[in-house]
Structure 1
């Protein structure tokens, strides 16, 4: 391949071929006639063929140039189209964003954020995934996701974890359960294993509780396990059971009909993180989407037990009053 030939040569050739005149073509290309003539001569010398027969009145393509003209048109059309698409992606006129998040984050923030984003960038489509924390980390590392918003699971070196929210743990159960009717703050030491439903070890909640609360009596006996908050809602709704989930999850669809009591002595909180591949930049659309998500989080009245990390506490929902203690442990 002759690397001395460039798009400038192709554009010059096509413009002269279309105009049938060096003077007219030079004006359309905003170059001098002598510069255009030199460009065509370079092209002809590089390929070893004459492209135009010149007369005093008109420039006519040679037979070889006539055959090449359609191919040159196609090359320029494809190139211009590719650049236009690239600019559209940069300006979020089109594109696709792949996000994974905890179910509670999707319910509380992402659905609203996607709606706001679509108003500004209707040409961008989405994939939203609710998957286990272990699977999410692997998908981000493999490039199957642009970013994720969920709790840290293993803490993989190849990934970057930026804390966004602090989310306090508490007990969730039916309103007629004894734990829901008990007065005063609930303490970890008061919870027994009977009726307790735990999360499996491949979930962010399950891993965090095993590492930070596994020594409490509630984890000491045989227990049922589930792998998602969706399954948990169905189990708890039968009555006589309880589980331990973060405050944000307690606001998710389904749990609003159940009682939620924050746990004290000690207070345990998870961190909801932005998870991305280390040393990889987000696409312009993904960065704009993340900005909308953060604006959505800041604009909402967060549930008790949930706060934005690194910022002043957001306005609280007035529906519940709790006693806060000082002992805190963070995931990761």
Structure 2
């Protein structure tokens, strides 16, 4: 089997088109002896003359004619492969699949996806909004490139890179007695209030459970609902209060709801990127991840309004 390079294919095609060693050398930026050497290696490899040479002309042989069509096809395929790789590297096409906590999928991810899509319309973006444990499994199975989620030590076989930490706040109805203040509220002073919380499997609930357990209290919310819009509506109706991470509170911040920081202790939910151990993200996936990091930090560090009007249906 002949072993020939793409460069040799290009030299052969150039000579077949120009039928001139001098013009081929000029086109390929080679010396004429170098062009002759390429032809000699090809003819030796195929065991057949590819060109008829005379002092006046160069012509393709029948073997050369047969090779030319295939050589052009191979050259076209090689160029297409090179262009495809370059397109991916330069973010002209490709696919990025992201799993994210619903509270993040409803806040930071849409902004980042819109910004990225405007710059790189050829790259397809997929979003799966799901709970933390499911996000880790999606990464483990390779169904997503990475997950944007809360930290979970149970998945030590996966790589977790911290982006930011999400402080807890308390949502209260505008008519609640504690809604008039502006400073932080202590967890101990709100523990006995009627709470509306997420199910036990969510990161929100797990952090609230652990915090009150540290204070020697058991967290027993009166209502458990999955969607942040439901929490928002129930808080606004005066049915109770809700302890949420700040990014989740951005989703549940409807009119009639007041937000106050929680302290003693200050509880922060770590947010980070989860990937497979040893797996390097594609250029496009890394670009999306970098934008997500910037947007998470921007959301957490900008001043937050006490009241809001936006509502959404999501789970944290």
TM class by shorter-chain length?
Answer: 0.7 to 0.9
Q: CA deviation at 1:31?
A: 0.9
Alignment of 1:238-277 (within 5 A): 239-252=238-251, 254-257=252-255, 258-277=257-276
Q: CA deviation at 1:56?
A: 2.9
Aligned partner of 1:60 in structure 2 is 59
Aligned partner of 2:19 in structure 1 is 20
Q: CA deviation at 1:121?
A: 3.0
Structure 1: unaligned runs, 5 residues or longer: 307-313, 321-332
Q: CA deviation at 1:264?
A: 2.8
Of 189-198 and 129-138, more deviation after overlay is shown by 189-198
Structure 2 Cα separation of the partners of residues 185 and 248 of structure 1: 17
Would you say the 8 A contact 2:139–2:147 is kept in 1?
yes
Would you say the 8 A contact 1:44–1:50 is kept in 2?
yes
Structure 2 Cα separation of the partners of residues 62 and 226 of structure 1: 80
Distance 1:154 1:201, change over 3 A: farther
Instruction: Indicate the RMSD between aligned Cα atoms, in angstroms.
Output: 3.1
Q: Any idea what the Cα deviations from partners look like across 1:213-268, whole Å, max 9, x if unmatched?
A: 346545247x543445355446556651433211221112x433333333333221
Q: Does 1:219 align with 2:219?
A: yes
Aligned pairs, number: 305
Would you say the 8 A contact 2:185–2:260 is kept in 1?
yes
Q: CA deviation at 1:83?
A: 0.8
Of 172-181 and 39-48, more deviation after overlay is shown by 172-181
Structure 1 Cα separation of the partners of residues 71 and 234 of structure 2: 66
Q: CA deviation at 1:155?
A: 4.4
Distance 1:232 1:23, change over 3 A: same
Structure 2: unaligned runs, 5 residues or longer: 308-316
Alignment of 1:1-332 (within 5 A): 1-2=1-2, 4-176=3-175, 180=179, 185-191=184-190, 195-214=194-213, 217=217, 219-220=219-220, 224-230=223-229, 232-233=231-232, 236=235, 239-252=238-251, 254-257=252-255, 258-297=257-296, 300=298, 302=299, 306=300, 314-317=301-304, 319=306
Structure 1 Cα separation of the partners of residues 53 and 227 of structure 2: 76
TM-score by length of 1: 0.78
Would you say the 8 A contact 1:134–1:154 is kept in 2?
no
Distance 1:227 1:251, change over 3 A: same
Structure 1 Cα separation of the partners of residues 182 and 31 of structure 2: 88
Would you say the 8 A contact 1:153–1:203 is kept in 2?
no
TM-score by length of 2: 0.81
Q: CA deviation at 1:132?
A: 0.8
Would you say the 8 A contact 1:89–1:95 is kept in 2?
yes
